[in-house]
Amino acid sequence: MIKCIFRDFSQWILNKKYYSQPVLLRGYEIYYFLQLTATNPSDIGTWQLAGFIRCTSDFLPTKFYLPVSFTVAVKLGNNTDRIFRSSVQIFDDSEKALGCVLMVPGESWAEVLQGNSLVVSSDGTISIIISMDFIDPAETGKKDNI
């Protein structure tokens, strides 16, 4: 399990990436980052928080094949977790990230800044918890695995 804590989000800029510290798992560096996205950049009410996971390694070529299963959860301000469906994905490029929007419909970045969103933990942080399992490449049917 990986826990990422983000602070000072009131200063965040649209489309900029805010990275966690890297976590080393089986020789891979796993990063999680948050990014504000918007359907209408001039309207803060359309800004949404998206989270992404990325895998890199100094020992891998740019293109590789690493199947994983992971679950992402946001620790909410009411001491519950917003858990996103487990997903089986394949990391195949150190420049690509896998992710999704972490806010529910009707929840906006303006509410986060005003302290009216459950995405902000009771200690004023945004906390993300990632559970990840590596899948045996042989189980995916792909033969040229790294």
- The per-residue pLDDT for 144 is 41
Domains belonging to the chain, first-starting first, are 2-135 (2.60.210.10)
Tokens standing for 108? 């906006």
Whether this prediction's pTM lies above 0.75 is answered by yes
Residues pairing with 54 in the sheet: 31, 97
| Residue range 121-145: mean pLDDT, rounded | 78
Residue 28 is which amino acid? Y
Give the model confidence (pLDDT) of 78-102 as tens digits. Answer: 989 999 888 889 888 888 899 999 9
